[in-house]
Chains A and B, each alone.
Chain A
Amino acid sequence: MVKQEKELANRPDNTAYTQQRLPAWQPMLSAGIIIPGFVIIGLAFIGIGVALFVTSQSIQVLELDYTGVEQTSPCFKCTDQTIKNCVCKLDFNIDKLFEGPVFFYYGLSNYFQNQRKYGVSKDDTQLSGDLDNFKTPSDTCLPYRYDSQGKPIVPCGAIANSMFNDTFKLFQIVKGVRKQVPFDGKGIAWWTDYNIKYRNPSVPVLKNAFNGTVKPISWPRPAYELDTSDPANNGFINQDFLVWMRRAALPDFRKLYRRITDGDYAKGLPAGNYSLEIAYNYPVLDFDGRKKVLLSNVSWMGGKNEFLGIAYLVIGSLCIVMSIVMLIVYAKFKFPEED
């Protein structure tokens, strides 16, 4: 009896798991599955690729470099940094209707918004409206934390300090008369940035919150006066500020400046001559950067991007080719599965 009990105690459990006999599906990459699979994937990809490519082709993009490197460029005069409030005009012409809604971007090249030190140089708590951090900004903001008098900079940090401050006005020249194209600056930043992540301090008059602080060194005006035309678009929830604060991933980037959705231009920019008036403030030539303006419309899949369509086409055809190759190989090596 004792012996028997001992045996029972020692005897391993006879379960599917302990005996490694769990029921299992045992798929295998055999020709019968892979070749049709490749064909299906290939066809699907080619289909998507064609759709993407065609869509991408229909998107119009207009790109205007206004850095002013060449002497002939209208903005050349502004590259001299001693001139304050320099304005230059760039004329261009659209030969057919630029379908709306048109998006107006500014672009920077060779500009490293993705530098690590630059990227951390901001104070998220301050930007969420915490007044404590107005007096003592986080030390991640160094060296843009206090000015030379020791006053705290609000908003602190390199990103805020380097905010893009060129401004643009677009005019259509209709029979020699300059007609301003209305810009829509609402909703160019992420909804969550505007409504949740960035907050102005909850004080009745925004300006008062900034008492005892100084504006970032490179800024012409303090944060509470960023948009003189719309008092609600000031402080940390200024749309341009928010757009700038979202760091670009790569050194050549563009950022949304305005949409053209209103008035006569809701259907797009009609063909004709246009003039772009640029308040040229932002220095980029020191580091060999470039500034440009982009006009683009978008489709369901975003802006113009031929890469995705072409990649889908290439991979799709590659799948088809590979399925043919595999078919040949299998024919030659006699389908080992069927043996």
Chain B
Amino acid sequence: MAFRTEQEVDSLHATIECEQPQPDLYKFVGRINIYKDKEEPVARPLGAENLLLRGATLKNTQHIYAVAVYTGMETKMALNYQSKSQKRSAVEKSMNAFLIVYLCILISKAVINTVLKYAWQWSPDRDEPWYNHRTENERQRHVVIRAFTDFLAFMVLFNYIIPVSMYVTVEMQKFLGSYFITWDEEMFDEELGEGAQVNTSDLNEELGQVEYVFTDKTGTLTENNMEFIECCVDGNVYIPHAICNGQILSAASSIDMIDSSPGGYRREHEDLFFRALCLCHTVQVKEEETVDGIKRGIHQGRPTSFYISSSPDEVALVEGMKRLGYTYLRLRDNYMEILNKDDEIERFELLHVLNFDSVRRRMSVIVKSSSGEYLLFCKGADSSIFPRVVSGKVEQVKARVEQNAVEGLRTLCVAYRRLSETEYEEVCHHLNEAKLALQDREQRLAQAYDIIERDFVLLGATAVEDRLQEKAADTIESLHKAGMKVWVLTGDKMETAAATCYASKLFRRSTQILELTKKRTEEQSLHDVLFELNRTVLRQRSISGLSVDCLDFGLIIDGATLSAVLKPNQEGAGPGNYREIFLEICRNCSAVLCCRMAPLQKAQIVKLIKASKEHPITLAIGDGANDVSMILEAHVGIGIMGKEGRQAARNSDYAIPKFKHLKKMLLVHGHYYYIRIAELVQYFFYKNVCFIFPQFLYQFFCGFSQQPLYDTAYLTLYNISFTSLPILLYSLVEQHVTMETLKREPSLYRDIAKNSLLRWPVFLYWTCLGVFDAVIFFFGAYFLFDNTTFTSNGQMFGNWTFGTLVFTVLVFTVTLKLALDTHHWTWINHFVIWGSLLFYVIFSLLWGGIIWPFLNYQRMYYVFMQMLSSGPAWLSIILLITVSLLPDVIKKVLCRAVCPSATERAQSSRPCLTVEPSTIFMLSQSSSRMSF
């Protein structure tokens, strides 16, 4: 049945049954019932391959006839929008903890003041002196209600201690800051034509906190740029002459037989093997010049054509076959055409494709040859093929596979099975039944595949090389130096994976490898192995003491053992929890390799580490659909824009073109973001303590009457305009050490590990500094105002001058405190820091310089000018600012001298000062203003 025109489509009478909308993009279960006149309806299965997602673009065709199944919010894409789980960074968590502390401070301040107010007012003269009577209404109010309103009034007065604007600023900082990642030219990949991509800005600072890196191997550590290296049929090895780099090669006889002893049996297997590889795949041939996705030029006497597939392995294999003389030409009308070695075209009817999935780890096709034979070809991982093989030279092939694996090559085994007519009917029956099922289709298909794919005859194996990505080793080394533990999680064989790990310097020659594999646990019980490894690790640690760097451990674990370890212990508290022992071992290993992992196991591992008692910050990086689960699970998920589609990049928090970009991402961007936001958070709490604590102290001197110390405009604008921009800009452009230093010395990353800038002692320091400054502001002003004249004409100042004096000192102190913390003075910093001080002065002059018609009070009128006209006010402002800043300066200088951190050493040793003329100009300006 084919529908080529609109009329033909119009003539179709059918109903479509499909499942309820669900977010899984790669799954669709449905059925189409086609009604023809007076005939029984025909049912056909509909799967994910029949479904076009919203936003999809058509390829290889001009148009398509379709029926809309899901619309609007029910489309899979729409359902996927919401489903992403919210990740919160460690910084955010400590921010919230600090906030709770401040909330408690706020409430206790209000309670203390309310209680003191009523204690103080006990004597009626104080409660209601003759000069300040209450209204009748107030008098009649019950004392409890009065106390409660007083409490609320205090809450309103002190509420500024809760830095609401911090949340706004943090959001802005994250949003704007995340552009630096997208903008980074060093993370731009010429080949892909794309740079890094930020999918969430919530986790920028988490990049500076990573302790565990979980990386996928294929496509992440390696290029996922496959090259066919060799194949072996029954133990005989075939190697194509030239290595294809995409250039055109002659397809003529290029078989190099190492061991040539032709025989009928061998000949037959050889033919079958090459045909199997030419047929058992889902490669498409594209005869155009530009296509997206995977492409390889092949020469067919006609314009260049490409093989396209979602799996680069397949392309490599088909190409390899071509170089060995068997060219897959095309799929036409369900017939696959092959050009064999003798330049004859062979045609096979494609009957069924049993698609690859990562659980089965194999795929099969059923074809009918021109001679009418039914053949089932299967290729897959050795572990999933060997158990299903009944004959063939298993030993030889196995040996070759293992040897290749040790060299780091990716191996696949090929097997076949001849089907009789009746067997074929049975297979069709199984498959159709499973495909038509609306419920549990996946499961049923898996069952059907399991029944069909067995009793194989082993043909041989292939080896494909996947080269390491550029600078992968350097990146891993840097991550190690930065104190991160790198875990490689892969579905590959242990030997392949281990070879890659050595190549990528995950394991060094000095690394002592601990093995926790099925092979070992078969010999000993899991219990014993675990305990033995644990002992080894602990012994080494006790010998080497604190200097652990002399010896490091690498652990290799495979999927089967891992699930045994993770299996909940039936005996309860019996011989101990394997989980804990396993974690203990892992904790002492700098590198861990997990091979033979199922996608879900990757997520499990991440979850296990996440939930361990230190709650380390984890990062998962991968490129394929099978990494999505761990990318979603880890604290930070990074997708590589790889060859296996965009799923990982789409589900990740950040996407980068290459693995090597991870280094800059973590060591530079992550580091910067962390110190920036840490300072931002601490500074916000600090400046609000400075702001509100004097107001709290003032209550003791104004009869606890909730008299604000500052004018309303100052209260409102303090966080919004006087002190907001410098910290925002600091948190965008601060670089406490240069990028080059950060890249050169990855160990600086350790300085900020474990949220070190937002720990309680640091928080306490900042808060104490805030309280100290506030006390200085308030009592400084208090003693200056105490019963004395400020002016030379004998006039007195009032309460608003008092508040303005405190406020002026406050604004200058907190801004200069930030200036002291700034290590990287770009013109922007100069502009905002001196600019906001200037703005404060100008605003105050303006605010007090005019009778504002819309205000019903004019309390600030000329207050600021009057204050500036007084000599002692200037002197006290300078004095109080200096005193407030002194302890912090002294602390900094002494800490730097007594116990400098690695960062501070790096700061000291950097090449000094690159002052620009404009900077000098700005500085001189500022200093003239600072000293009034």
Binds B, one of A203-211, A223-231, A283-291: A283-291
Q: Which residue of A lies closest to B194 (CB)?
A: A10
Q: Complex: how many Å from CA A154 to CA B828?
A: 54
Contact A305 B784 (CB under 8 A): yes
- For window 298-339 of A, CB contacts with B under 8 Å fall at 298-305, 307-308, 311-312, 315, 318-319, 322, 326, 329-330, 333, 336-337, 339
Q: How far is A247 from B703 in the complex, measured between Cα atoms in Å?
A: 14
Chain B residue numbers with a CB within 8 Å of A103 are: 789, 794
Contact call A336/B900, Cβ cutoff below 8 A: yes
Which one, B705, B803, B871, contacts A117 given CB within 8 A? Answer: B705
B448 vs chain A, min Cβ distance (A): 44
Whole-angstrom CA separation of A120 from B800 in the bound complex: 13
A25-B825, A26-B910, A138-B856 known; A299 vs B792 contact (CB < 8 Å): yes
How many of chain B's residues touch chain A, expressed as a range? 35 or more
How far in angstroms is the closest Cβ of chain A from B343? 35
- In the complex, the answer to whether B702 meets A10 with C-beta atoms within 8 Å is no
Known: A112-B702, A114-B701, A301-B875. A26 touches B825 (CB 8 A): yes
Closest beta carbon of chain A to B207's beta carbon, Å: 15
Q: B701 and A251: CB pair below 8 A?
A: yes
> Is the C-beta of B612 less than 8 angstroms from some C-beta in chain A?
no
Q: Which residues of A contact B798 (CB under 8 A)?
A: 246-249
In the complex with contacts A162-B132, A336-B905, A19-B185 CB distance below 8 A: yes
Q: Which of B130, B707, B787 has the most CB of A within 10 A?
A: B787
- In the bound complex, residues from chain B placing their C-beta under 8 Å from that of A115 are 132, 702-703, 705, 707
From 1 to 44 in chain A, residues with beta carbon under 8 angstroms from any chain B beta carbon are 2-3, 6-7, 10-14, 18-31, 34, 41
Closest Cβ–Cβ distance, residue B784 to chain A (whole Å):
6
Q: Whole-angstrom distance between the alpha carbons of A257 and B733 in the complex? A: 56
Interface string of B183-201 (1 = CB under 8 A from A): 1110010100111000000
| Chain B 877-909 per-residue mask, 1 if CB under 8 angstroms from chain A, else 0 | 001001100100110111011101000110111
* Chain B CB within 8 A of A243 CB: yes
Which residues of B from 746 to 785 have beta carbons under 8 Å from A? Answer: 780, 782-785
Question: Does A296 touch B at the CB level, under 8 Å?
Answer: yes
Bound-complex Cα distance A189 to B290 (A): 86
Residues of B within 8 A of A153 (CB): none
Interface stretch among A70-78, A190-198, A269-277? Answer: A190-198
Select the residue from B735, B798, B898, B912 with max chain A CB neighbours within 10 A: B798
Q: Which residues of B are found within 8 Å of A30, using beta-carbon distances?
A: 896, 908
Give CA–CA (A125, B799) in the complex, Å. Answer: 20
Q: Which of A11, A28, A256 contacts B823 (CB 8 A)?
A: A28
In the complex, B244 has a CB within 8 A of chain A:
no
- Judged by a CB distance under 8 angstroms, whether A65 is at the interface is no
Q: Does B16 contact A (CB under 8 A)?
A: no
A19-B184, A318-B886 are known contacts. Are A25 and B799 too (CB-CB below 8 A)?
Answer: no
Q: How far is the CA of A280 from the CA of B780 in the complex (A)?
A: 35
- Taking a contact as CB atoms under 8 Å apart, the answer to whether A305 and B914 are in contact is no
B182–A143 CB distance below 8 A: no
Give the CA-CA distance A333 to B735 in the complex, in Å. 27
- Beta-carbon contacts under 8 Å, B591-643 to A: none
Is B135 an interface residue, CB under 8 A from the partner?
yes
Contact A11 B861 (CB under 8 A): no
Query: In the bound complex, do residue B871 and residue A248 qualify as a contact, i.e. CB atoms below 8 Å apart?
Result: no
A116 contacts partner chain B, Cβ-Cβ < 8 Å: yes
B919 within 8 A of A: yes
Is B796 positioned at the interface, with any CB of A under 8 Å from its CB?
yes
Tell me the complex Cα distance, A208–B834, Å: 54
Chain B contacts for A249, CB-based, 8 A: 785, 797-799, 801-803
Which chain A residues numbered 143 to 202 have a C-beta less than 8 Å away from chain B? 143-144, 158, 161-162, 187-190, 192, 196-197
Measured CA separation A298–B912 after assembly (Å): 50
CA distance A190 to B796 in the complex (A): 9
B478 CB to closest chain A CB (Å) equals: 19
Q: Is the CB of B735 within 8 A of A20?
A: yes
Q: Which residues of B contact A215 (CB under 8 A)?
A: none
Q: What 1/0 mask marks residues of chain B from 448 to 461 whose CB sits below 8 Å from any chain A CB? A: 00000000000000
Quick one: given A143-B134, A302-B870, are A29 and B792 in contact (CB under 8 Å)?
Answer: no
Say yes or no for A265: interface residue by CB 8 A criterion.
no
- Of B705, B872, B882, the contact of A315 (CB 8 Å cutoff): B882
Q: Which residues of A contact B706 (CB under 8 A)?
A: 116
Flag whether B820 is at the interface (Cβ < 8 A): yes
**Is the pair B786, A250 in contact by a Cβ cutoff of 8 Å?**
yes
Q: Which residues of B are found within 8 Å of A68, using beta-carbon distances?
A: none
Instruction: Tell which of B184, B784, B883, B898 touches A333, judged by Cβ atoms closer than 8 Å.
Output: B898
Do the beta carbons of A256 and B795 come within 8 Å of each other? yes
Which of B190, B707, B785: most chain A Cβ within 10 A? B707
Q: For the complex, give the distance between the alpha carbons of A302 and B789 in Å.
A: 5
Interface pair B184/A283, CB less than 8 Å apart: no
Let me know if A301 and B897 touch, CB within 8 A: no
Q: Is A267 an interface residue (CB 8 A)?
A: no
Known: A11-B185, A303-B789, A304-B788. A22 touches B827 (CB 8 A): yes
Cβ contacts under 8 Å, A339 to chain B: 908-909
Chain A CB within 10 Å, residue with most, of B790, B794, B799, B872: B794
Q: Is there a chain B Cβ closer than 8 Å to A237's Cβ?
A: no
A3 to B890, CA, bound (A): 58
A69 to chain B: which residues have CB within 8 Å?
none
Closest Cβ of chain A to B877, distance in Å, is: 11
> Which residues of the partner chain B approach A116 to less than 8 Å between Cβ atoms?
702, 705-708
Interface core residue of A30, A101, A318 (most chain B CB under 10 Å):
A30
- When distances are taken between beta carbons in the complex, the residues of chain A under 8 Å from B910 are 26
- Min C-beta distance of B178 to chain A, whole Å: 13
A106-147 vs B, CB cutoff 8 Å, 1 = contact: the mask equals 010001111111111100110010000000001000111000
CA distance A25 to B862 in the complex (A): 38
B631 to chain A, nearest CB (A): 23
Closest B residue, CB atoms, query A9: B193
Give the residue of B829, B892, B909 whose beta carbon is less than 8 angstroms from that of A29. Answer: B892
Q: Which of A21, A22, A41, A107 has the most CB of B within 10 A?
A: A22
A336 touches B894 (CB 8 A): no
Q: Is the CB of A118 within 8 A of B132?
A: yes
Least CB separation from A309: chain B residue: B875
Specify which chain A residues have a CB less than 8 angstroms from the CB of B892 in the assembled complex.
29
Q: How far is the CB of B845 from chain A (nearest CB, A)?
A: 13
* Chain A contacts for B785, CB-based, 8 A: 249-250
In the complex, how many angstroms separate the beta carbon of B562 from the nearest chain A beta carbon? 40
Query: A214 on the interface (CB 8 Å rule)?
Result: no
Against A, the Cβ 8 Å flags (1 = close, 0 = not) of B352-381 are: 000000000000000000000000000000
Bound-complex Cα distance A288 to B916 (A): 64
B913, CB-defined interface residue at 8 Å: yes
Contact A336 B908 (CB under 8 A): yes
CB of B791 closer than 8 Å to a CB of A? yes
Taking CB atoms, residues of chain B closer than 8 Å to A252 are: 786-787
Chain A nearest CB from B844 CB (Å) reads 15
Q: How far is the CA of A48 from the CA of B788 in the complex (A)?
A: 19
Min CB distance A237 to B, Å, is 15
In this complex, the member of A18, A161, A300, A302 whose beta carbon has the largest number of chain B beta carbons within 10 angstroms is A302
A residues engaging B (CB < 8 A)? 2-3, 6-7, 10-14, 18-31, 34, 41, 45, 48, 52, 101, 103, 105, 107, 111-121, 124-125, 128, 138, 142-144, 158, 161-162, 187-190, 192, 196-197, 243, 246-256, 259, 283, 286-288, 296, 298-305, 307-308, 311-312, 315, 318-319, 322, 326, 329-330, 333, 336-337, 339
Closest 7 CB pairs of A and B: A303-B789, A162-B131, A249-B802, A18-B183, A7-B193, A249-B799, A287-B125
For the complex with contacts A192-B866, A250-B782, A250-B786, 14 further pairs of A-B residues with Cβ separation under 8 Å are A7-B190, A13-B183, A25-B915, A31-B893, A103-B789, A107-B787, A112-B703, A162-B130, A189-B795, A256-B789, A298-B792, A302-B788, A302-B789, A302-B792
List 12 interface pairs A-B (beta carbons < 8 Å), by A numbering. A2-B290, A12-B183, A18-B180, A18-B183, A28-B823, A30-B908, A31-B897, A107-B787, A192-B862, A251-B703, A283-B130, A339-B909
